Amino acid sequence: MTIDGRYRKNVHPGLEAEIILKKDQRTGRTTAGVVKDLLTKSDFHPHGIKVRLEDGQVGRIHTK
């Protein structure tokens, strides 16, 4: 099952997710981890909700 990471309502702390780090935006390389904080305040973002993982890495939820 794939969530739509463009909507804040679908993302919550504790969620296992794949994110795209800023440095990997050109390649689309994803990084897996567990969401710690939601950084995007709006309900929707076309490129994915920005989150901080438990290991401190920051990126946007990967949406296919």
Tell me the CATH number at 38. 2.30.30
Q: Degrees (nearest 5) of the Cα angle 59, 30, 13?
A: 50
pLDDT of residue 60: 97
Write out the residue range of the structural domain in which residue 51 sits: 8-61
Counting every residue written for the chain, the total comes to 64
Domain count across the chain: 1
pLDDT of residue 36: 98
**How far apart, in whole angstroms, are the C-alpha atoms of residue 16 and residue 37?**
12
Q: For the whole prediction, is pTM greater than 0.75? A: yes
**How far apart, in whole angstroms, are the C-alpha atoms of residue 14 and residue 21?**
19
pLDDT of residue 1: 54
Collect the ranges in the chain with pLDDT lower than 70: 1, 64
